[in-house]
Structure 1
Amino acid sequence: MPSVIVIGGGPAGSSVAGLLALQGIDVVLLEREKFPRYHIGESLITGCMGVLDELGVRERVEELRFIRKYGGSLVWGKDGRWNFKFTEGKPEHPHAYNVRRADFDALLLARARELGARVYEEATVKEPLIDDGRVTGVRYALRGGPDQELHADLVLDASGQGRALGRHLTGIDWHEDLRNVAVWAYYQNGASLTGDETGNIFIEHVPGGWFWYIPLSDGTHSVGFVTPVAEAKAASIELPALFETKIAESTHVKKLLAEGFRVSGFRSARDWSYVCDRFTGPGWMLVGDAAGFVDPLFSTGVTLAMMAASAAAKAVPEILKNPDLEAAISERYEESYREFLSNIISFVRFFYDAGLDRAAYEEYAQALVDPKKLFFPRKDFVTLISGLNSLRPIFDLPVPAPTPV
């Protein structure tokens, strides 16, 4: 019987499985699909860089020749076009990457295997196994095979928005004001940003929504449009037609794509901003998108998932060594996780008011993460949208002392 079951082989699942295996813990990872597989979420932020180092894969990521991303460029608010650099927040994190998720995720899953996790692909988790209120394992099936039971001391759900475990154990709170829909495609021969903006994600606000424009290492650009679901319905046209209409209404994305041509079909996703009612319980823990997902405006998804994985990989060994501390350690994990999610959600909601100036956005970020104003608002703004915190680690998990007998 393994000590830990991890559900899901994306960045959260592969990271936590690899980091636990690195500590000598017996881990089984169950992944529904066969890698490599396509996934959106291509623009990373610098909060994930420390986790790549923990996993020992920074050099391998470099070898994949992903585009280095040194910051972001925006057309938003009263200031028109502006940009930021990650070094304005945490100088030790100068860049992140724009990645092909199929390649990036496959690298992380391979690393989990290499570190000792037993990885089963095409393994669909059906339901948790529960004994006297405690999750003790899962029922799953390999493709084409019969249902099987697998037991463990702890089960971690890192299955993303499918919430393979969480949907049986906890409710979900949708952020009604962030019910958006995204439609995207890939373009060749689009113009790239230059100079200090080279590699940046480009975000342009347009009436009714906003565009992302992400350079990828093969010369293509990922281009997506995000709009409220209500706006999309009111438009009374199909999403691809809405996308093309909004391209024509844009100022900068239209120019960047003047010589570009679409080289893929359109994809779409909707209603993705949410948080679960609980992140932990007896025998189980949620990690990454399985716990919650914030609107994609600041590209926090992958990074926050990997940082949560790193935190879980610190908490789980202590729970295994000191079962009596499980509730206290799990509570601190959830508390820390919710605090950062709450800050990002609050900031995204504020930022969606595109009628403000840059100083207002920076001051609001400071109010969230640095209320004593120990740093400049600009630093707090960049630090927050880098997936970090100016004052302390987001996942600060001191281990409670055992209760004296």
Structure 2
Amino acid sequence: MLKYEIENETETSSQVSQISQIKADVIVVGSSISGLMTSCYLKLKLPHLNILAIGPRPEQEKRAYVGESLTEISIHFFWEIGLKDYLDRTHDRKNGLTFYHKLRIDDPNDYRYSVHAPGESLYYHSRQLNRPIFDRDLYHHAVQMGVQFLDGKVKEVNIGDGKNHHQAIVKTATGECVQLSARWIVDATGHHRIIGKKVATYNHPETGQRSAFWFRLADFNEFLPQLELSMRRPHEYDLLHSTHHFMGHANWIWCIPLQSSDRRNLISVGITYRPDLYDRPMQTLEHFLAAVESEHPAVAAMVRSGQILDMHSYRNYLYSADRVYSANGWFLVGNAARTVDPLYSTGLAMTALQIQQITEIVRRDLANTLAMDDVEALSSLWCQITARRQVDITDQYVTMHDPFSAHLRRYWNLNGWWNAILPLWWCGFLTNPQGADGLMGLLQGGEKSERAAWDLFRDASTQIGAAESRHFEQTFDFDQIINRRFDRPIHSIPQQLSRYFLWRLKMRFKLMKRLGWQQQVPQIRPLLLDLVRMLAVKYLFRLKFKSLFQTIDPPLCFDCASAAKQDHLSSIQALLP
């Protein structure tokens, strides 16, 4: 039974039946994973608010589930809402992202791969979500936290103007019409974008679109024994328990091991590609196998050995909203805000970041300290981070098959994640309006510098020609780039950000030296720009954010260090004979 105030309107001549009225503080439209995450987090951080989520139980709705690979932000998010023990028991351990670059992508008989992944164990371990199970259990967790649910579909929405509350008409599963009103409303309806289409303008890129085909596979023979792998050093963990990426011509394949309730061998397998560059048909399992056998026959053999549980596909699915939050109290989260390429598994991480930003906006609104500029700063920062990442990934498809160029792009991108995004998020800069506004300056004007680096990577690959394993050992050590302990105090932020720019400098300088200075004039200006930014963040960042360093609140209120220590002890025990 709902705990909200419920009233019945008197029938008028224009009404066929009575309409119940429900008043809540926050309406979350949608009960998929982004809606459940939003509901749980708001209830955790602002427990006095009435949170009402609209939608059916996950198991009662047909959904295009995909194996979900969590990353640092999303795993901490779920730990904080109380799911660490549950995740450890129920979902497969993830040791990081593993990328397989085939040395001869056009030769089906060549099984040699250069493997790029952390050699040393990560400090914080994530999980691979078996989504049908996880979504069901997350729903029950939300109920236990005090989130209320209304099983129905939204038929009409009227967005308030800040003075007047938002209104929604819902037709319940029993056929009753219910009128809802709330001060804040969240669109978590995925590609339906029930609210988003009313309040935002969506951009659908004409070039660089993305399509995907995927399925879950059970009772299969593993692919690793068939591969000839070369890597800088032996891994300290079981490589199988990773998120696997096989790179090809304008496409990449994911393989995500999952834990199932009956302990069967289970894995999510899929392909993401740019349809403007990849002209193979991709609508059936036969299409998938024909394409994959030509580049990665070991993956095709694994698929043929197992049992397909379900299949799904999206075509030309990329879009993005021009704004995702409003001072009038509406918010777009997850796929209602934008769709992403899952190459780096940051979809749920960016959703978690959004939810933390939304919670900060609502908190300030309740305290009457919210300024319109606060909302704009957080919205703009999130849109800028996600847009820059997707532009970069879009360009990668041109050289995704090129093992040497592609692995340099990987290191360049992950340097930004480990040494910039994660420390800034951990210390609260991405969820604080003043921090977000200041960081926009660091993000602006970097497009030419990025593209110059991409050109540099292509030139280096051209010089090498047909790459061999030894060539990768002559570049950079990924374990040195990774910032495993990004969870340091706020006073370390200048040092961590300067490390980010230092690695960019090292990569440019080493490759420019290798190619010959006289041919690298276009790289001089980006090199100097990174040098200036490295010195600026090291010596001036603290001055720029002087007041913020004293008052900023990190988004997490959970003993993550203790949780990580437990993970380390369990991983060490697992390696003992």
Q: Is TM (by shorter chain) over 0.5? A: yes
- Determine which of 264, 270, 283 is the counterpart of 2:309: 264
Structure 1 equivalent of residue 446 of structure 2: none
CA–CA separation in structure 1 for the residues paired with 2:348 and 2:483: 16
Task: Provide Cα deviations, 1:360-383, integer angstroms capped at 9, x if missing partner.
Answer: 4423555797589xxx99479767
Conservation of the 8 A alpha-carbon contact between 2:35 and 2:53: no
Task: Provide Cα deviations, 1:92-112, integer angstroms capped at 9, x if missing partner.
Answer: 42x211111111122222222
Structure 1 position 199, deviation (Å) = 0.8
> Is the counterpart of residue 25 in structure 1 residue 55 in structure 2?
no
Structure 1 position 77, deviation (Å) = 7.5
> Is the counterpart of residue 311 in structure 1 residue 357 in structure 2?
yes
* Equivalent AA in structure 2 for residue 56 of structure 1: G
Structure 1 equivalent of residue 385 of structure 2: 340
Structure 1 position 205, deviation (Å) = 2.0
Structure 1 equivalent of residue 100 of structure 2: 75
CA–CA separation in structure 2 for the residues paired with 1:20 and 1:166: 20
Structure 1 position 70, deviation (Å) = 0.7
Structure 2 equivalent of residue 52 of structure 1: 78
Tell me the secondary structure at the aligned position of residue 24 of structure 2.
Answer: coil
* Equivalent AA in structure 1 for residue 239 of structure 2: E
Structure 1 position 18, deviation (Å) = 1.6
Structure 1 equivalent of residue 118 of structure 2: 85
- Determine which of 284, 288, 293 is the counterpart of 1:243: 288
Structure 2 equivalent of residue 403 of structure 1: none
- Determine which of 248, 252, 266 is the counterpart of 1:220: 266
Task: Provide Cα deviations, 1:177-217, integer angstroms capped at 9, x if missing partner.
Answer: 33222112222223065854131121112334221111111
Query: Which stretch of structure 1 is more off in the superposition, 351-360 or 169-178?
Result: 351-360
> Is the counterpart of residue 12 in structure 1 residue 42 in structure 2?
no
CA–CA separation in structure 2 for the residues paired with 1:71 and 1:192: 18
* Equivalent AA in structure 2 for residue 47 of structure 1: I
Q: How does 1:271-350 map to 2 (within 5 A)?
A: 271-281=316-326, 282-322=328-368, 325-350=370-395
Conservation of the 8 A alpha-carbon contact between 1:71 and 1:83: no
* Equivalent AA in structure 2 for residue 124 of structure 1: K
Structure 2 equivalent of residue 125 of structure 1: 154
Name the one with the larger helix percent: 2
CA–CA separation in structure 2 for the residues paired with 1:14 and 1:230: 35
User: Residue 107 and residue 333 in structure 1: after superposition, are their counterparts in 2 closer, same or farther (change >3 A)?
Assistant: farther
Structure 2 equivalent of residue 191 of structure 1: 222
Task: Provide Cα deviations, 1:201-254, integer angstroms capped at 9, x if missing partner.
Answer: 21112334221111111312211122233466x445744332020121133543
Task: Provide Cα deviations, 1:108-150, integer angstroms capped at 9, x if missing partner.
Answer: 22222211111223x2122322345866232222124243221
- Determine which of 333, 355, 358 is the counterpart of 2:407: 358
User: Residue 111 and residue 265 in structure 1: after superposition, are their counterparts in 2 closer, same or farther (change >3 A)?
Assistant: closer
Structure 1 equivalent of residue 246 of structure 2: 204
User: Residue 379 and residue 285 in structure 1: after superposition, are their counterparts in 2 closer, same or farther (change >3 A)?
Assistant: farther
Structure 1 equivalent of residue 425 of structure 2: none
* Equivalent AA in structure 1 for residue 94 of structure 2: K
CA–CA separation in structure 2 for the residues paired with 1:200 and 1:53: 20
* Equivalent AA in structure 1 for residue 116 of structure 2: N
Tell me the secondary structure at the aligned position of residue 51 of structure 2.
Answer: strand
Name the one with the larger strand percent: 1
User: Residue 96 and residue 178 in structure 1: after superposition, are their counterparts in 2 closer, same or farther (change >3 A)?
Assistant: farther
Tell me the secondary structure at the aligned position of residue 270 of structure 2.
Answer: strand
CA–CA separation in structure 1 for the residues paired with 2:26 and 2:54: 14
- Determine which of 191, 196, 200 is the counterpart of 1:170: 200
Q: TM-score, normalised by structure 1?
A: 0.82
Tell me the secondary structure at the aligned position of residue 264 of structure 1.
Answer: strand
Tell me the secondary structure at the aligned position of residue 267 of structure 1.
Answer: strand
Tell me the secondary structure at the aligned position of residue 325 of structure 1.
Answer: coil
> Is the counterpart of residue 34 in structure 1 residue 57 in structure 2?
yes
Tell me the secondary structure at the aligned position of residue 263 of structure 1.
Answer: strand
Structure 1 residue ranges without an equivalent (≥5): 401-405
User: Residue 383 and residue 242 in structure 1: after superposition, are their counterparts in 2 closer, same or farther (change >3 A)?
Assistant: farther
Structure 1 position 41, deviation (Å) = 4.4
CA–CA separation in structure 2 for the residues paired with 1:185 and 1:290: 23
User: Residue 186 and residue 18 in structure 1: after superposition, are their counterparts in 2 closer, same or farther (change >3 A)?
Assistant: closer
Structure 1 position 152, deviation (Å) = 0.7
CA–CA separation in structure 2 for the residues paired with 1:237 and 1:259: 17
- Count how many residue pairs are aligned between Structure 1 and Structure 2: 383
More RCO (CA 8 Å, sep 6+): 1
Structure 2 equivalent of residue 110 of structure 1: 140
Structure 2 residue ranges without an equivalent (≥5): 1-22, 105-112, 226-236, 421-441, 444-475, 487-492, 499-544, 553-577
User: Residue 157 and residue 181 in structure 1: after superposition, are their counterparts in 2 closer, same or farther (change >3 A)?
Assistant: same
Conservation of the 8 A alpha-carbon contact between 2:94 and 2:243: yes
